[in-house]
Amino acid sequence: MKRALFALALLLAAAPALAVNPDEILSDPGLEALARTITRQLRCVVCQNQSIDDSEANLARDMRRVVRTRVLAGDGERQVLAFMVARYGDFVLLDPPFKPKTYALWFGPWVVLALAGMIALLWFRVKRSVAAPTSVPQLSAAERTRLDALLAEIDGEPHARGRERKP
Amino acid sequence: MERGVGQAMIVELGHFALVLGLMVALVQAWLPLLGAARGDRALMAVAVPAAQTQALLLLIAFFALMHAFVVSDFSVANVFNNSHTAKPLLYKVAGTWASHEGSMLLWVLILALFGAAVASFGRNLPPELKARALAVQGMIALAFLAFIVFTSNPFARIDPAPLEGRDLNPLLQDPGLAFHPPLLYLGYVGFSMAFSFAAAALIEGRIDAAWARWVRPWTLAAWACLTGGIALGSWWAYYELGWGGWWFWDPVENASFMPWLLGTALLHSAIVVEKRDTLRAWTILLAILTFSLSLMGTFLVRSGVLTSVHTFAADPARGLFILGILVIAIGGSLTLFAIRAPTLKSGGLFAPISREGGLLLNNLLLAAAAATVFIGTLYPLLIDALSQGGDKVSVGPPFFNATFVPIMIPLLLALAVGPMLAWKRGNLSAAFRRLAPAAAAAMAVTLLAFLLAPRGPVLAPFGLGLAAWLVVGGLMTLVERTGLFAVTVSQSWARLIGLPRGAFGLALAHAGIGIVVAGISGSAWQEEHIVSLKTGERLTIAGTVLSFVAVTEGDGQNYQYLRGEFVQLRGERILGQMWPERRSYPVTRTGTTEAAIDTSVLGDLYLVLGEGDESGAYTVRAYFNPLAPWMWIGALIMMFGGFVSLTDTRYRVGAPARAPSRAAVAAAAAAE
């Protein structure tokens, strides 16, 4: 009785960890590996952000079966994916296709990175030009040698001492 | 009957305290601001008792709700919907923040506690800055308390009270998930401190090294908690969801990951402001954006917009309210920034190759990484909304692998180099010379990985090499600062003792990332066996034989279980036993799988018991996840590094007397 109740409870439960089942697995390891590569790229269309490889939903199981049937029939990765897109639309692809409506998606990160890099470069330029405006009178040769001598002195031991003192 | 009346009183007191908290926030949001504008000390001083009172009131409200959960008072709708008398005590307590209403209450409670901490310990803060920062905190609290009271009241009653509750989703009845939200919120809300200080500084028009020094401990604490919170969530997914996945690029995960990325950038740019008094405007902007992303994370998770744009439209009250908060907070702070930023002159100069330059590169890449996650998370919503639901796209792991990962790799490569560069002007070749041991370790590890697994995934050995580069590079910062191998060991030891805690924090956090990277790389070698097995049969995975001994049934506290018993064998030697379980919770009619995990340094042996069929065979899933535990250990080390830095006397929040005054900091900055 208890066992029957338990079985009933499990049946009623949205039984988890039902992902790929032993009876689904293809006997040819090469084809099975191909099927797994494909099922990892397909979204379970009734789940929240899960691939059909991970999902425990019944629909995901059906979709896995379809993928394996196509693979057994000799379809390649591209063909199976195209078949699924024809059935479910682009929504089924976890790897969004590269087309006009996803240009902003695919280029976005790189545009942000390039913009950020450009702003940083500009910032360096502006800072340098502010720090050394061209209108400032240039040093004479004598002044320059004296400055170099002073700088050399500063670059000597006091610098090292400065590092020592730093926390 | 007596007890019932007392209980009713406690719930009403909590409800009353919550509404009173809203009133206090109303006062805190503008009186101190007015005081600061007029230079009225008495008005400014209102901020301190207001912040403290608010924290006290929200503590009362929070514990009143917790009490209702513990005694199973089903006259409270929130308790009825999320609890059950048979639920273990830990999950009754954790149930307080497991629901939408309760978690929002926890959110404002943490906000109020942070505010009270500033009010109580920030005695050395300039009164205007303190008053303004606390007023901004008051505004945030006001918005969220109004949200709770008007749309998500946790104290709403049901009459007549039901006899039994509906129980909590069994997936959430787990120790890892009990503590995941509080840690995550400590992180999210902790960034509000940086935000409030940034807004206050913008109103005041003054940002300097001292400002950065006040903001850093809060940012550091928030960052460490968020690191821990994200790691805990990921670990939970790993052991609870039943197939060993640990990160799915799910919008809910991304919502917490974006503030983490920008918060990490903020943590580093604040160092530049503190030490060199430059990059001020950028740091302020980061502080605003980091908290804005925290708010957006709250919106994404709480509004229901993630499931579909249409669920959001179906129950718009909550979503619209948070969206309103979002627009006002982000729009307002960015407007303030646009007005005031041009007046912020940036200070010290530095060459591109320098410590500052390294930190700037860190900021650029982290900001780009955060933008990538942002675009990837919101793009499906955008397309859905623009096409009125007619067109949909999915953005899954392949997108993030193609964009996020290439941005992170240069960051990780540069991560070891940055700390080796001097301030103002660094020497790149000298830095590389100092990193020679790290480079050697990286190459050795990569080669070793190729030799051990010649036919495995190609990129994984490089991942391990990168990990070695980071770990050794992190430790080299300590070697460098103690002069180990250059001076005598005793001298090095003396220097090591004298190092500020921040130096250890840096080494730990950087090495911790390396360990996380090793764990991630290891997952590429995952082994999987899915078989149908009868008792008495065996399976072999990663050199270990697992013998299926028996299946037993039984009752847990509020569930029934089916438990498999497996014996681990190597040859005929018994190494240990494993008990994977399937649980069924009768109240919610849902089940969970409890994987049996055998952890070692090399990886996890992960065993799941699946369904049985008529012939008595069970589906058994066995995985070997190489180096998986390294991910959580690495994250733990990062978090620990954050806390070690926090104990650095320079940032000690609770020791105002010893903290340097504004003048002293300015003098120190001038001397550097």
Closest to B371 (Cβ–Cβ): which among A13, A112, A128?
A: A112
Q: Pick the closest to residue B544 from B576, B527, B568, B577 (CA basis).
A: B568
Q: Which residue is it, tokens 């299946």? A: B551
pLDDT class for B660, splitting at 50, 70, 90?
Answer: very low
A127 and B590 within 8 Å at the Cβ level: the answer is: no
Query: Touching check for A15 and chain B: CB below 8 Å?
Result: yes
Q: Which residues of chain A does B375 touch, with a Cβ-Cβ cutoff of 8 Å?
A: 104-105, 108-109, 112
Angstrom distances, CA of residue B631 to CA of B28, B182, B225? 42, 21, 16
Q: In this complex, which of A10, A21, A96 lies closest to B395 when CB atoms are compared? A: A96
Q: Which residues of B touch A167 (CB under 8 A)?
A: 500, 650
Instruction: Please answer yes or no on whether B371 and A6 come within 8 Å at the CB atom.
Output: no
- Is A105 close to B241, i.e. CB distance below 8 A? no
Residues A62-69: what's their mean pLDDT? 90
Kindly report the nearest CA distance between residue A71 and chain B, in angstroms: 20
CA B59/CA B414 separation, integer angstroms = 44
Rounded to the nearest integer, the mean pLDDT of chain B is 87
CA distances in angstroms from B264 to B33, B209, B362, B367, B562, listed in the order given = 30, 19, 9, 10, 44
Q: From residue A56, how far is each of A41, A52, A71, B250 by CA, in Å?
A: 16, 8, 21, 17
Between B110-124, B126-140, B483-497, the lowest mean confidence (pLDDT) is in: B483-497
Tell me which residue in A6, A22, A128 faces B531 most closely, judged by beta carbons.
A22
Nearest chain A alpha carbon to B399:
A95
pLDDT at B298: 83
Of residues B597 and B342, more confidently modeled? B597
Query: Is ipTM over 0.90?
Result: no
The answer on pLDDT for A115 being more than 90 is yes
Partner-chain contact A109 B407, CB within 8 Å: yes
Confidence band of B152 (pLDDT split at 50, 70, 90): confident
Task: Return the closest-CA partner of residue B149 out of B18, B17, B12, B315.
Answer: B18
H-run or E-run covering A34: helix A29-39
Q: What is the mean pLDDT of residues B546-556?
A: 90
Instruction: For A118, name the nearest residue in chain B, comparing CA atoms only.
Output: B364
pLDDT of residue A123: 84
What torsion do the CA atoms of B607, B610, B613, B618 make, to the nearest 10 degrees?
A: 0
Nearest alpha carbon to residue B442 among B414, B416, B468? B468
Of B375, B532, B584, the CB nearest to A109: B375
Of the residues B399, B420, B555, B672, the best mutation for testing chain A's interface (the one with the most A CB atoms within 10 Å of its CB) is B399
Domain locations along chain A: 2-97, 101-165
Q: Looking at beta carbons, which residues of chain B come within 8 Å of A43?
A: 394, 396
Chain B positions touching A109 (Cβ under 8 A) are: 368, 371-372, 375, 403-404, 407
Distance, CA of B561 to CA of B584 (rounded, Å)? 6
Contact: A89, B397; criterion CB under 8 Å: no
Give the chain B residue whose CA is nearest to the CA of A17: B242
> For residues B503 and A89, what is the distance between their CA atoms, to the nearest angstrom?
53
Residue B440 clears pLDDT 70, i.e. is over it: yes
State the pLDDT at residue A131.
60
A51 to chain B: closest CA residue: B396
Task: Indicate whether B424 pLDDT > 60.
Answer: yes
**Using alpha carbons only, what angle is made at residue B380 by residues B377 and B385, rounded to the nearest 5 degrees?**
125
Band (pLDDT 50/70/90 cuts) for residue B346 is low
Contact B397 A94 (CB under 8 A): yes
Q: B383: nearest CA in chain A?
A: A101
pLDDT in tens, B245-259: 888 888 888 999 999
- What is the per-residue pLDDT for B353? 87
Beta-carbon separation of B591 and A127 below 8 A: no
What is the average per-residue pLDDT within A47-74? 86
Nearest to A90 among B368, B393, B402 (CB): B393
**Hey, what are B654's tokens?**
């609770």
Across the interface, do B407 and A113 touch by the CB < 8 Å criterion? yes
Contact criterion met (CB below 8 Å) for B513 and B638: yes
Q: What is the pLDDT of residue B315?
A: 62
Question: What residues of B are in contact with residue A13 (Cβ under 8 Å)?
Answer: 584-585, 589-591
Residues in chain A with CB shorter than 8 Å from the CB of B249 are 49
- On chain B, the residues whose CB falls within 8 A of the CB of A93 are 393-394, 396
Which chain B residue has the Cα nearest residue A22?
A: B531
Asked if A79 reaches chain B (Cβ–Cβ under 8 Å), the answer is: no
B592 closest CB neighbour out of A16, A91, A109 = A16
Confidence at A9, pLDDT banded by 50, 70, 90: very low
Residues on chain B touching A110 (C-beta within 8 angstroms) = 403
Cis ω on the peptide bond leading into residue B160 (within 30° of 0)? yes
- Domain spans of chain B, in order of start: 1-161, 205-314+337-422, 423-523, 527-629
Among B670, B669, B660, B646, which Cα is nearest to B220's? B646
Task: Judge whether B143 and B110 are in contact, CB under 8 Å.
Answer: no
As a whole-number percent, the residues of chain B with pLDDT over 70 amount to: 94
Give the chain A residue nearest B239 (alpha carbons).
A17
Sequence-ordered list of residues with C-beta below 8 angstroms from that of B326, at least 6 positions apart, any chain: B292, B295, B296, B299
Comparing CB atoms, the residue among B248, B375, B585 nearest residue A108 is B375
- The pLDDT tens digits of the residues spanning B80-121 come to 988 888 888 999 999 898 888 898 999 999 999 999 999 998
Residue B176 has a pLDDT of 80
* Average model confidence (pLDDT) across chain A: 77
Q: What is the pTM of this model?
A: 0.88
DSSP per residue over B10-28, as a string? HHHHHHHHHHHHHHHHHHH
Q: Which CATH architecture has domain A2-97?
A: Orthogonal Bundle (1.10)
Residues B248 and B397: their CA atoms lie apart, in Å, by: 7
Give the best-scoring range by mean pLDDT among A18-27, B145-154, B382-391, B490-499: B145-154
Say yes or no for a CB contact (<8 Å) between B611 and A18. yes
A 128-167 residues inside an 8 A Cβ radius of B = 128, 131, 167
How far is residue B519's CA from residue B516's CA, in Å, rounded to a whole number? 5
- Going by pLDDT thresholds of 50, 70 and 90, the confidence category of residue B4 is low
Q: Which of A163-167, B221-225, B299-303 reaches the highest mean pLDDT?
A: B221-225
Number of Cβ atoms within 10 Å of the Cβ of B232: 24
* Residue numbers in A near B349 (CB within 8 A): 127-128, 131
Element (H, E) at B183: helix B175-204
Nearest residue in chain B measured CA to CA from A116: B364
B552: nearest CA in chain A?
A: A3
Contact assignment for A2 to B553 by CB distance below 8 Å: yes
Distance from CA of B129 to the nearest CA of A (A): 28
Q: What is the pLDDT of residue B81?
A: 87
A51 CB neighbours in chain B (<8 A) are 396
3-state DSSP call for residue A20?
Answer: coil
Mean per-residue pLDDT, B72-79: 90
Q: Which of residues 84-113 of A touch B (CB under 8 A)?
A: 89-96, 101-102, 104-106, 108-110, 112-113
Contacts of B379 in chain A (CB under 8 A): 96, 102, 104-105
Contact predicate B7/B15, CB 8 Å: no
Q: Which of A6, A85, A87, A163 to mutate to test the interface with B (most CBs of B within 10 A)?
A: A6
